[in-house]
Chain A
Amino acid sequence: MTTEKSSTKYMVAKLLLLAVVMLAFTYAMVPIYKAACDAGWIDATRDNSANPYANVNANVDTSNTQVDKSRWITVEFVANTNAKMPWNFAAQQSSIRIHPGEMTNVVYDVVNTTDRETEGVAVPSYGPALAVEYFKKVECFCFTKQKLGPHESRGMPVVFVVTPDLPKDVNTITLSYTFFEVKS
């Protein structure tokens, strides 16, 4: 009888542990999900990394990148603002035709239309989703807080290279930014 009692306690402890482990696993899913997204398994519609600087400046040795003059690709620039974001946001040009491997510079314009100082964060996204693999940014304003004074406007540059190993059937890539307001 005592052995059964103690084994009951042991069982309960084990099962409670399972429940706690699963709860911890749920929170662990957040980084796992990000890793899986970066690997392109689950949802590739995000940046190479949520870390703003991971794919900026780092390891993009543009001098060695061969420019593939035989190919043209169209890169479209999309600007979105979230429902609560009181900024006007647009790319200076809606699209550009470039060769893979070519370093390109574009500018997005942003205007704060309110009478107060506002902060925002831009989230990048790519279409088709797999383009994220081949879109290397040398300079970008995403994921860093931008602060604009009342009615202040600013040009925000993006410098990027589309690597030449981009699959042959992809000839249009879309780079999208969505600005969200953040509370300071």
Chain B
Amino acid sequence: MMSNLIKKVGGGLALAMYSMLAQAEYALNLPQPATEIARQIFDLHTITMWIIVGIAVVVYGAMFWSILKHRKSVGHKAANFHHNTMVEIVWTTIPLLILIVMAYPATKSVLAMRDTSNPDMTVKITGYQWKWEYDYQQDGFKFMSVLSTPREQLENYNGKSDKGENYLLEVDNPMVVPVGKKVRVLLTASDVIHAWWVPEFGIKQDAIPGFIKDSWFKADKAGIYRGQCAELCGKDHGYMPIVVEVKEQADYDKWLAEQKTKAAAASKDAGKVYELAELKSMGEKVYAANCAGCHQAKGEGMPPVFPALDGSKMVNGPKQAQIDIVMNGKAGTAMPAFGNQMSDTDIAAVITYTRNAWSNKAGDVTQSSEIKALRK
């Protein structure tokens, strides 16, 4: 039995080793740059690495030579020198000169990457716990961008793992920009500090609540680029990816027109009356994207920090109180004011869903017009 176990474990290990070597994806360097700035960063890193390799050859060469030759066991006798002004001056000056050589191109790149003047377009990006909002303010629409990897893929506690190709790096609504245009981004955050980072673009900017910070990128090629939040922002810091879709100008224009129509349609649609079942199924999606992170997929919550919604007195009580908390947040807790993050319809749907999901049987329906009325 023991030997069986050893065979199994050994076989498993061998298989793991084999699969690691056979189909591994060992990226050893920065990703392939997709903007001029990222290319400069890539080159700076390459130059620096070669200088380091040169220095390392000298340092480790001397070290290992000395370890091999100057040891007592090979009969080497210790010399007694302990000072040499000339040598010391040389090994202080030469590194200084090398650093100056390195600082020159670095300075040029810093100046280039900080130059946000003459943008072709501006997008305001707001970090929320734990999603991004892209506001195309000049075109009059904005949308949330939330991780779209299904929660079943995240949780592996039972050992199952069928993960999609872009696991954790996929969102429902990506940011879309035209190719070859200088896009200025204005970063801010609603709650805590986040950082917006797309490695291929060479851009990483902290998003700080109360302040806007600007940065820019200009993508060379159409394609889909993926990044992640790069500043610890709480529980789901690992679950707020960034996806930027760079489109050809014509495709971008088409997308832009669609978004504008959608925005217009949404405001026209606001008064629409939905059935309970419709709202519930819409609300389920809204819940998964915005609420399940804390209150969990089945509404069981994570007490005492994140209360359960399933069977909750609050959710089964009068709906006005629940709407108030969803829209305006709850002081002293992590619950934000979703009124500023979600549309009337989304709020109505999620309220209806939570009041009628799991063991909750309030039976009532909340319409978007009720939410709209509260906003006045």
Q: Which one of A7-15, A54-62, A73-81 contacts B? A: A73-81
Contacts of B340 in A (CB 8 A): 81, 85, 88
For A85, the closest partner residue in chain B by CB is B337
Complex CA distance for A84 and B129, rounded to whole angstroms? 12
A176/B212 in contact, CB under 8 A: yes
B212/A153 in contact, CB under 8 A: no
A128/B116 in contact, CB under 8 A: yes
Question: Contacts A76-B137, A95-B138 known; A82 to B376 CB distance under 8 Å?
Answer: no
Complex CA distance for A46 and B118, rounded to whole angstroms? 22
Question: Contacts A81-B190, A153-B376, A176-B188 known; A115 to B324 CB distance under 8 Å?
Answer: yes
For A131, the closest partner residue in chain B by CB is B214
Which one of B115, B128, B140, B210 lies within 8 Å of A123 (CB-CB)?
Answer: B210
A94/B137 in contact, CB under 8 A: yes
Contacts of A81 in B (CB 8 A): 190, 337, 340
A127/B191 in contact, CB under 8 A: no
Complex CA distance for A153 and B328, rounded to whole angstroms? 16
Q: Which one of B27-35, B68-76, B119-127 contacts A? A: B119-127
Which one of A86, A151, A174 lies within 8 Å of B339 (CB-CB)?
Answer: A86
Complex CA distance for A176 and B187, rounded to whole angstroms? 11
Question: Contacts A172-B184, A180-B210 known; A84 to B337 CB distance under 8 Å?
Answer: yes
Which one of A84, A114, A128, A151 lies within 8 Å of B214 (CB-CB)?
Answer: A128
Q: How far is the CB of B256 from chain A (nearest CB, A)?
A: 15
Question: Contacts A127-B214, A174-B122 known; A84 to B336 CB distance under 8 Å?
Answer: yes
Question: Contacts A123-B210, A127-B116, A180-B210 known; A86 to B138 CB distance under 8 Å?
Answer: no
A174/B186 in contact, CB under 8 A: yes
B210/A86 in contact, CB under 8 A: no
Complex CA distance for A128 and B186, rounded to whole angstroms? 9
B178-225 interface (Cβ within 8 A of A): 184, 186, 188, 190-191, 208-214
**B13 is an interface residue with CB less than 8 A from chain A:** no
Complex CA distance for A84 and B335, rounded to whole angstroms? 8
Complex CA distance for A86 and B190, rounded to whole angstroms? 12
Contacts of B188 in A (CB 8 A): 78, 80, 125, 176, 178
Which one of B214, B324, B329 lies within 8 Å of A174 (CB-CB)?
Answer: B214
For A126, the closest partner residue in chain B by CB is B212
Contacts of B117 in A (CB 8 A): 128, 169-172
B137/A78 in contact, CB under 8 A: yes
Complex CA distance for A180 and B214, rounded to whole angstroms? 21
**A24 is an interface residue with CB less than 8 A from chain B:** no
**A146 is an interface residue with CB less than 8 A from chain B:** no
B209/A169 in contact, CB under 8 A: no
Complex CA distance for A94 and B186, rounded to whole angstroms? 14
Q: How far is the CB of B128 from chain A (nearest CB, A)?
A: 7
Complex CA distance for A174 and B122, rounded to whole angstroms? 10
Complex CA distance for A171 and B116, rounded to whole angstroms? 10
A136-184 interface (Cβ within 8 A of B): 151, 153, 169-172, 174, 176, 178, 180
Question: Contacts A78-B137, A78-B212, A111-B376 known; A83 to B122 CB distance under 8 Å?
Answer: no
Q: How far is the CB of B303 from chain A (nearest CB, A)?
A: 21
Q: List 8 A-B contacts (CB under 8 A).
A: A81-B190, A82-B191, A83-B191, A113-B327, A114-B328, A123-B211, A125-B212, A128-B116
Q: A86-B328, A174-B214 are in contact. List 10 more A-B contacts (CB 8 A).
A: A76-B138, A81-B190, A84-B329, A86-B329, A88-B339, A127-B116, A129-B213, A172-B184, A176-B212, A178-B211
* B residues at A contact (CB < 8 Å): 115-119, 122, 124, 126, 128-129, 137-138, 140, 184, 186, 188, 190-191, 208-214, 324, 327-329, 331, 336-337, 339-340, 374-376
* A residues at B contact (CB < 8 Å): 45-46, 76, 78, 80-86, 88, 94-95, 111, 113-115, 123, 125-129, 151, 153, 169-172, 174, 176, 178, 180
The 10 tightest CB contacts between A and B, nearest first, are: A86-B328, A83-B336, A127-B214, A83-B191, A176-B212, A169-B117, A125-B211, A83-B190, A45-B211, A123-B210
